[in-house]
Amino acid sequence: MDLIALLQNTLYFFVASGIIALLIKSLIKLYLDKDLEAYKEKLKQETIRYSKLHEKRADAIEELFEKLVDYKNYAEGVKWAKESNISGKELKEIEENFRIAHRTFLDCLNKKGNLYFGGKTPELLEALHFEIMRTKTHTEAKCKDGKNMDFTSLKNILEDIKNAEKAVANSEKELINEFQTILGVKN
């Protein structure tokens, strides 16, 4: 009977140990699941916040890039007007479009330029801002009296546009790189 009692006690011990182990395992799992759910919720909130910031940044880059392309296109229009000896109403319209492109790009640059960018992008945008402000100053100084822009003032503006072209190209490349980085396709 000693052997049977020993086997019975051993069996009870293993069953009791199994039940205790199962209870401990269930409690640990419950505790860890609770922590895991809290962590997942926190991660989800951070992901939403992070993705919204990325979305805003992408929108800012896209808007700034569009304004930069508009500026570049209207600057090309001014250069074309000089080469084609355009005058009168058509020249005034080209000049007005150029001034509007200046104003809208600089407004966008001032509002969003340094807010969403890091690295060398703010420096490039600052250089671009300087060059475009110089061109804008010449444009507005020559046209404030309401007269048509003549070819002497066009010459000054064309020189400024030529000086700004490198800053425009560098900024354009950097904005493309920033946007591609957000998309995860940066080369």
Give the ranges where 84-120 is alpha helix by DSSP (H): 89-112
Tell me the pTM.
Answer: 0.56
Least confident of 19-23, 45-49, 56-60: 45-49
Cβ pair 48, 148 in contact under 8 A: no
Q: What architecture (CATH level 2) is domain 3-183?
A: Up-down Bundle (1.20)
Cα–Cα distances in angstroms (integers) from residue 111 to residues 33, 106, 164, in the given order:
45, 8, 20
Structure confidence at residue 135 (pLDDT): 61
Q: What is the DSSP letter of 184?
A: T
Q: Distance between CA atoms of 58 and 52, rounded to whole angstroms?
A: 10
Q: Where are the domains of the chain?
A: 3-183
Q: Half-sphere exposure (CA, 13 Å, Cβ side) for 2?
A: 0
pLDDT in tens, 107-159: 887 777 667 776 777 777 777 777 776 665 555 545 555 554 444 455 666 66
Mean pLDDT across the stretch 98-108?
A: 83
